[in-house]
Homo-oligomer: A and B are copies of this chain.
Amino acid sequence: MEKSMKKINVQLLLTGNELMSGEIVDSNSAMMAQELKSLGIEITKKTTIADDMDMLVEEIKSITNNADILIINGGLGPTVDDLTAQALAKACNTTIEQHPLALEHLQAWCKQRNATLNKPHLKQAMLPKSCQIIANRTGSAVGFQMMFNDCQIFCTPGVPHELKVILKEQIIPLLSTQIPEDMKVDVTRLQIFGLGESNLQKLIDENLSDWPETLELGFRAGLPLLEVKVTSRTAIACEQKDLWLTKLKALFGDHLISEVINQPLPLAEHVLTLLKAKKLKITTAESCTGGLIASLLTKNPGSSAAFEAAFITYSNKMKSNLLDVESKLIEQHGAVSQATVIAMAKGALKKTSADLVIAVSGVAGPTGGTPDKPIGTVWIAWGSIDNLRSECLCIPGNRTIFQHYVSAIGLDLIRRILIKSEQEPIYIVERRVNKNE
C-alpha cells in the first residue's frame, strides 16, 4: 500500500488486558494526542488489544504497513503479561537481547531505591536487537524505538506519569525535528458553561447560517464544560477565522469561559486567576458536595493566594458548631433551605474573613429525597457579605453528576460576579425551583 506523503499517518497501538476488560480507563492516548497536537500532528487511528502475543504481532505488522509513525503504549513492565518487546521483535523478524543501556538504567534505578535488581527487573532489559533506548527518568522500564517497513516505531511505558515525562522530554523533541513546518493546523477552542449542546447548535444555525465551509466547527459536551472548536487547515480559512470567531464569541456572551489554543484550563483555575487578579479570597461551606469545590480549587498550583480555608459540614450539628448556623433555624426550615444555606455562607465568611463564598446544601442521593425536596434539589448561596445571593435548583442525574455539576455551578456563579456579568445564566433559568421563602 502506498503511503500518503501529504498527511503524516500516526497510529497508536495500546496494549493491556486491563484496557480491554474495563478495569482501567485509558488516559494515555488523550495525553499523546495533546502532545502530538503541539507539533500539528493528528492521530489517524487508535487500536487497543489485550496482552496477546499473536494479536500484537498481527497488529504491529498491519499498522506498520500503513503508518508513518506507530506509538505502542504499554506492555513494558516486569510482569509476565508484558509482551511488547517480544511481540515487536517477532513482528519485525528479529530477536530480543539484553540491552546494555537498559541494564545500566535498571541498576541505577534499583540502587537509588535501595532495592535489589531482581529477575522481573531484568526482563525489562530484554529488548529487540538494534533498537534504540528512550530514557525514562521516572520509572524502571525504558522506552525504545526502531524502524520497520518504513515506519518509525516508539515503545512507551503504560504508567501515565512515566509516559508524560518520556513524551515531553524525549519523543516530542525528537519528532519536532522531523515534522515540516507547513503541516501545522490552527485550532481555537472556546469553553462554554451553561448552554446545552442542542441550544448551542440552534444558536449557531439561527444566527450564523452563513458559516463558511472552510472553517471546521466541532463540539464536545463535557461535564461540566462544553467546548466549541474552530479548525482552519488552509490559508484562506486562517484569514477568515478571526472575523467568524468574533461573531461566535458575541453569540455566547458570558457563557464563554475562555478561548484557548492548547489544553483548556479547568473552570476552578479560571476562577482562581480572576480572584488573584483582584486580590480576593474565597471560602466554601459544603454539605452535599462534601469538599469537592475546595478540592477543585486546591488542585491548582498557587491556590493558596486566593484560598485559605473551607468547611465541610455534613450534619446539622456541625453546621451549627462550625458555622454558627442556629439549630432552631435548621429545625424550622430544614438543612436544605434558603435560610440554612445563607447562614452557612455568612458563617464561613465570618470565620475565615474571606471576600467571597460558595455555600451548598442539597440532596445528592441516592437516598434522602422527599416529595417536597426530591433528589437533585440544592440550595446555593454565593457572593460577598454585602451581596449574598441564593437560588434553589434541581440537578437531575446520579450522585457523581450532581456533585460535579453543583460544584461547577458554584464556581461559575462566582466567575460571573468577578466578570460583573449581568446576564442571567441559562442553568438558573432552566433549573430554578420556586422555593423562595
- Point out residues on A near B: beta carbons under 8 Å: 16-27, 29-35, 37, 42-51, 55, 77-81, 113, 115, 118-121, 140, 159-161, 187, 189, 197-198, 201-202, 205, 217-223, 227, 229, 264, 289-295, 297-299, 301-304, 307-315, 317-318, 321-322, 351-352, 364-367, 397-401, 403, 430
| A33, B26: Cβ atoms closer than 8 Å | no
Q: Tell me whether A22 and B31 are in contact in the complex, defined as CB-CB below 8 angstroms, given that A81-B219, A120-B202, A314-B298 are known contacts.
A: yes
Q: Tell me whether A197 and B24 are in contact in the complex, defined as CB-CB below 8 angstroms, given that A46-B48, A299-B399 are known contacts.
A: no
- The answer for the CA separation of A395 and B32 in the assembled complex, in Å, is 25
Q: List the B side residues contacting A19 at CB < 8 Å.
A: 30, 46
- The answer for the CA separation of A219 and B205 in the assembled complex, in Å, is 50
Q: Tell me whether A77 and B219 are in contact in the complex, defined as CB-CB below 8 angstroms, given that A30-B25, A366-B301, A398-B161 are known contacts.
A: yes
Closest B residue, CB atoms, query A43: B20
Q: List the B side residues contacting A21 at CB < 8 Å.
A: 33-34, 37, 42, 187, 229
In-complex Cβ contact of A198 among B16, B121, B293 (8 A): B121
| A311, B314: Cβ atoms closer than 8 Å | no
In-complex Cβ contact of A367 among B49, B229, B302, B307 (8 A): B302
- The answer for the CA separation of A173 and B365 in the assembled complex, in Å, is 26
A and B contact pairs by CB, cutoff 8 A, 26 listed: A23-B189, A23-B229, A24-B220, A25-B30, A29-B48, A46-B46, A46-B48, A51-B218, A77-B221, A81-B218, A140-B198, A161-B398, A289-B295, A289-B298, A291-B291, A291-B312, A292-B295, A298-B312, A298-B403, A301-B365, A301-B366, A304-B315, A308-B313, A308-B317, A309-B314, A322-B352
Supplied contacts A20-B43, A23-B264, A46-B46, 14 more A-B pairs, CB within 8 Å: A19-B30, A20-B46, A22-B34, A23-B227, A44-B49, A46-B49, A160-B223, A292-B295, A298-B312, A301-B399, A302-B367, A309-B321, A318-B352, A321-B352
Nearest-Cβ distance from residue A262 to partner chain B, whole angstroms: 10
Q: List the B side residues contacting A220 at CB < 8 Å.
A: 16, 18, 23-24
Nearest-Cβ distance from residue A125 to partner chain B, whole angstroms: 13
| A312, B310: Cβ atoms closer than 8 Å | yes
Nearest-Cβ distance from residue A414 to partner chain B, whole angstroms: 16
Nearest-Cβ distance from residue A114 to partner chain B, whole angstroms: 8
Interface pairs A-B: 8 shortest CB-CB: A290-B298, A22-B33, A291-B294, A291-B291, A309-B318, A22-B34, A22-B30, A46-B48
In-complex Cβ contact of A314 among B187, B219, B304 (8 A): B304
Q: List the B side residues contacting A217 at CB < 8 Å.
A: 80-81
- The answer for the CA separation of A100 and B44 in the assembled complex, in Å, is 36
Nearest-Cβ distance from residue A131 to partner chain B, whole angstroms: 22
Nearest-Cβ distance from residue A67 to partner chain B, whole angstroms: 13
Nearest-Cβ distance from residue A411 to partner chain B, whole angstroms: 14
Q: List the B side residues contacting A118 at CB < 8 Å.
A: 198, 202, 205
Q: List the B side residues contacting A367 at CB < 8 Å.
A: 301-302
- The answer for the CA separation of A351 and B307 in the assembled complex, in Å, is 22
- The answer for the CA separation of A367 and B20 in the assembled complex, in Å, is 38
Q: List the B side residues contacting A205 at CB < 8 Å.
A: 118-120
Nearest-Cβ distance from residue A329 to partner chain B, whole angstroms: 18
- The answer for the CA separation of A312 and B299 in the assembled complex, in Å, is 13
- The answer for the CA separation of A18 and B292 in the assembled complex, in Å, is 26
- The answer for the CA separation of A37 and B23 in the assembled complex, in Å, is 11
| B201, A79: Cβ atoms closer than 8 Å | yes
Closest B residue, CB atoms, query A323: B309
- The answer for the CA separation of A29 and B47 in the assembled complex, in Å, is 12
| B25, A25: Cβ atoms closer than 8 Å | yes
In-complex Cβ contact of A308 among B42, B140, B221, B315 (8 A): B315
